[in-house]
A and B are shown apart, each in its own frame.
Chain A
Amino acid sequence: MYCNFLLTGASNDKNRTDIMIKIRGLNKTYNLGSPNALHVLKGIDMNVAAGEFLSIMGASGSGKSTLLNVIGILDNYDTGEYILDGTLVRSLSETRSAELRNRKVGFVFQSFNLISFKNAMENVALPLYYNGVPRRKRNDLAMEYLEKLGLGSHAHHLPNELSGGQKQRVAIARALISRPSIILADEPTGALDTATSREVIEIMREVNRKEGITMLIVTHEGAVARATDRVIYLRDGVIESDKKNEKPVIEF
């Protein structure tokens, strides 16, 4: 699991045609209508197939975080069209978008965003709480996922008793537990040292390969991007390039 090897995953299966993300002419402007309006996303077109393992790169201010927020249904957009796993995401109510997020999207954040007073197992189980899964069942499932990520022995530790890598693994387990269509990772290695970063990327790769879950990583680290199958470069709100990475390699 921790060795440097070429990965060939489900995303490389050219037979998969299911479209996970379909974005057409997407525009997003902050402070629309005011003098200091900021046009952040300027007509984004992109498709992501189910099971892909891709990254979005760009300098800060390029709009990559905004794009991630839109894809994660955390933010809305002005014009264009965004279809997530067959569902048109457009002017949804807070309740409806919460439901969609809960079922279809898993998040992994740079600063982990674990709830400090809940132990690892409870943190992992939290999405299922909002999905109405009974306590015992969701805790059992959370244990299962923690075991998968090698953290079974730390299930009852609070986040501040875990290392950075362990926290991020808990976060990945939390993202996985509701079996989402897509996992969005926002700088997942940003707060980690190289060894731990490598460990986390390997896990994500593995999850993508074994579970077939689409994995979208937003990063500004070249090393992270090189580990993914496809790299989209954003610059000033437009897609500058969209390249297949024929030989993804994990090299930290």
Chain B
Amino acid sequence: MKLFDTDSFQEIWATITRNKFRSIATGFGVFWGLFMLILLLAIGNKLKQSMMGEIGDIAMNSVFFQPNRTTEPYAGYRKGRYWEFNNRDLELVRQKAQSVDMISPILAVWDSEKNTVRGLKSGGYTGIGTYPAQFKIEAIRLREGRLLSEVDIAERRKVCVIGQTVYETLFEPGEVAEGQFIRFNGIYFQVVGVVTPGTNAMQIMGSPDEIVYIPFTTHQMLFQRNDNFWFLACTAKPGISASQVEAEVGAIVRNAHSISPTDTGALWTLDVEQIFNMFNGLFTGINILMWIVGLGALFSGIIGISNIMLVTVRERMREIGVRRALGAKPWNIIVQIMSESFVLTAIAGMIGFLLGIAGSLLIDNIRLGGGEGPNGVVEMAVSPEPIVSFHLALMAMLVLMLSGIAAGLLPAWRALGVKAIDAIRDE
């Protein structure tokens, strides 16, 4: 016997469309359930995938260090002492830290009004002194010219790499910046390249678009006038976890500056890997939660369909009885009730699914702020993209089909119990 031919479909379709209110009331639960499921999953997926996509290029195994006031008395020093990194730390880390791959010290001259000048054009930008490794760590993209090099560092060249915004402020559109001179805080630097951020997921001392990058040694000589620096970034060697770098480098600098090995307050650290894992776990958690909530909504919709179908089977005792009297076999009745619930579920679910997708497209442009360092120097941001994957759609359809069948089971079984003789009795 055919389960689903056009004739029986028309029979079912007629029953559904001619009892419109009942059908809509019945289908609404599943519509809403699937709508919510898709919307929630889209949001969850979006958060997670955008996080992955955004963070993809930056050095995930990097750790940032910043000195802070000590919080424990140690080696004759009182607590609350100020300290700074110095060039000896760089040497020590380079020599001793087995886990460290790249190393990059950071110095900054904060932006001030019109501190960056070229001819008549000027702007206020932050000047960062750093190593070439910093461009890799932050996944900064080169737009024109070259990045800073080891030779620039060694020779303390007065060169700079400028961010895209700096370029746009100081240069005419299309003008070649390479080889041109700009004045930063009263000192002339030759521009060797223009850069732009590869990602918005992480920023150090502001957006790379608005920074003038100067060789670390040059910066230290011109603006710091001692061998101190404020900020240190390290990456782990392949296969070594960032937390190992955090421990090793932390121990080295604490030892070098007579800081208690247990004084965690004296050295602020940011383990990107750990944060990434945390976010990853968080998004997985969110995703699971959304599945639970969404499936819960869908499940209650299915219960709703089943429930209303049960009620209508009672209401339709006479109709079913008449059908039985006119020669409907038990099988016909089962197929009819099951198909009605299946078709209702499928249609309501499809509408919910499509509107869910439409809804998830609407929330496309939401920006979500991430964590922030204690001094506002590190910012993480998430910018979501819409994601309703084919896989997800397929899953939803499968869930829908199963739920349509499940919703019809109990009502069909109940309808089977309707005997013609009971239904058509005239009392």
| A binding-site residues for B, Cβ under 8 Å | 69, 72, 74-75, 94-95, 98-99, 101-103, 107, 109-111, 113-118, 122, 126-127, 129-131, 134-135, 174, 178, 186-187, 190
Minimum Cβ distance to chain B for residue A37 (Å): 18
Minimum Cβ distance to chain A for residue B269 (Å): 72
Instruction: Please state if B14 and A130 are interface contacts (CB–CB under 8 Å).
Output: no
Query: Which of B326-334, B338-346, B374-382 makes up part of the contact surface?
Result: B326-334
Instruction: Please state if A74 and B426 are interface contacts (CB–CB under 8 Å).
Output: no
In chain B, positions 93-121 with a C-beta closer than 8 Å to chain A are: none
Residues of A within 8 A of B332 (CB): 98, 130
Instruction: Please state if B420 and A117 are interface contacts (CB–CB under 8 Å).
Output: no
How far does the alpha carbon of A178 sit from the alpha carbon of B326 in the complex, in Å? 10
From A94, A135, A186, contact of B330 by CB (8 A): A94
Minimum Cβ distance to chain B for residue A223 (Å): 19
Query: Which of B81-89, B317-325, B400-408 makes up part of the contact surface?
Result: B317-325
Minimum Cβ distance to chain A for residue B94 (Å): 85
Residues of B within 8 A of A94 (CB): 329-330
Instruction: Please state if B424 and A134 are interface contacts (CB–CB under 8 Å).
Output: no
Residues of A within 8 A of B319 (CB): 115-116
Query: Does B7 sit at the interface, judged by CB under 8 A?
Result: yes
Minimum Cβ distance to chain A for residue B416 (Å): 9
- 10 interchain pairs (CB within 8 A)? A74-B325, A74-B419, A95-B331, A98-B324, A102-B327, A110-B426, A111-B426, A117-B18, A126-B326, A190-B426
Query: Does B10 sit at the interface, judged by CB under 8 A?
Result: yes
Minimum Cβ distance to chain A for residue B20 (Å): 10
Query: Does B421 sit at the interface, judged by CB under 8 A?
Result: yes
When C-beta atoms are compared, the residue in chain B nearest to A100 turns out to be: B327
How far does the alpha carbon of A72 sit from the alpha carbon of B170 in the complex, in Å? 99
From B7, B15, B331, contact of A134 by CB (8 A): B7
Minimum Cβ distance to chain A for residue B9 (Å): 11
Contact of A101 with B325 at beta-carbon distance under 8 Å, contacts A95-B330, A187-B426 already known: yes
Minimum Cβ distance to chain B for residue A134 (Å): 7
When C-beta atoms are compared, the residue in chain B nearest to A68 turns out to be: B421
Most buried by A among B19, B318, B420: B420
Interface footprint category on B: 20 to 34
Query: Does B372 sit at the interface, judged by CB under 8 A?
Result: no
When C-beta atoms are compared, the residue in chain B nearest to A177 turns out to be: B326
Instruction: Please state if A98 and B329 are interface contacts (CB–CB under 8 Å).
Output: yes
How far does the alpha carbon of A194 sit from the alpha carbon of B324 in the complex, in Å? 31
The 4 closest A-B pairs by CB, nearest first: A102-B327, A117-B18, A130-B327, A98-B329
Query: Does B11 sit at the interface, judged by CB under 8 A?
Result: yes
Instruction: Please state if A113 and B318 are interface contacts (CB–CB under 8 Å).
Output: yes
Instruction: Please state if B14 and A122 are interface contacts (CB–CB under 8 Å).
Output: yes
When C-beta atoms are compared, the residue in chain B nearest to A72 turns out to be: B325
From B18, B321, B327, B421, contact of A98 by CB (8 A): B327
When C-beta atoms are compared, the residue in chain A nearest to B6 turns out to be: A135
Residues of A within 8 A of B322 (CB): 113-115
In chain B, positions 209-240 with a C-beta closer than 8 Å to chain A are: none
When C-beta atoms are compared, the residue in chain B nearest to A158 turns out to be: B18
Contact of A127 with B327 at beta-carbon distance under 8 Å, contacts A115-B319, A117-B18, A122-B14 already known: yes
From A75, A130, A135, contact of B323 by CB (8 A): A130
How far does the alpha carbon of A122 sit from the alpha carbon of B319 in the complex, in Å? 14
Contact of A75 with B421 at beta-carbon distance under 8 Å, contacts A94-B329, A102-B326, A127-B327 already known: yes
How far does the alpha carbon of A117 sit from the alpha carbon of B331 in the complex, in Å? 22
Contact of A99 with B325 at beta-carbon distance under 8 Å, contacts A115-B319, A117-B19, A187-B426 already known: no
How far does the alpha carbon of A178 sit from the alpha carbon of B426 in the complex, in Å? 24
Contact of A129 with B325 at beta-carbon distance under 8 Å, contacts A74-B421, A94-B330, A98-B330 already known: no
8 A-B pairs besides A74-B419, A110-B426, A135-B10 with CB distance below 8 A are: A94-B329, A94-B330, A98-B332, A101-B325, A102-B326, A115-B319, A130-B327, A130-B328
From B18, B327, B331, contact of A101 by CB (8 A): B327
In chain B, positions 237-289 with a C-beta closer than 8 Å to chain A are: none
From A102, A103, A109, contact of B424 by CB (8 A): A109
How far does the alpha carbon of A103 sit from the alpha carbon of B424 in the complex, in Å? 19
Most buried by A among B11, B15, B322: B322
Minimum Cβ distance to chain A for residue B303 (Å): 26
Instruction: Please state if A109 and B327 are interface contacts (CB–CB under 8 Å).
Output: no
Instruction: Please state if B7 and A98 are interface contacts (CB–CB under 8 Å).
Output: no
Residues of A within 8 A of B419 (CB): 74
When C-beta atoms are compared, the residue in chain A nearest to B324 turns out to be: A98
Instruction: Please state if A107 and B325 are interface contacts (CB–CB under 8 Å).
Output: yes
How far does the alpha carbon of A190 sit from the alpha carbon of B424 in the complex, in Å? 14
Most buried by A among B11, B326, B331: B326
How far does the alpha carbon of A98 sit from the alpha carbon of B7 in the complex, in Å? 19
Instruction: Please state if A113 and B424 are interface contacts (CB–CB under 8 Å).
Output: yes
Residues of B within 8 A of A134 (CB): 7
How far does the alpha carbon of A109 sit from the alpha carbon of B426 in the complex, in Å? 8
Minimum Cβ distance to chain A for residue B330 (Å): 5
Residues of B within 8 A of A126 (CB): 323, 326
Instruction: Please state if B7 and A129 are interface contacts (CB–CB under 8 Å).
Output: yes
Minimum Cβ distance to chain B for residue A157 (Å): 14
Most buried by B among A69, A72, A113, A186: A113
How far does the alpha carbon of A126 sit from the alpha carbon of B327 in the complex, in Å? 9
In chain B, positions 1-47 with a C-beta closer than 8 Å to chain A are: 7, 10-11, 14-15, 18-19
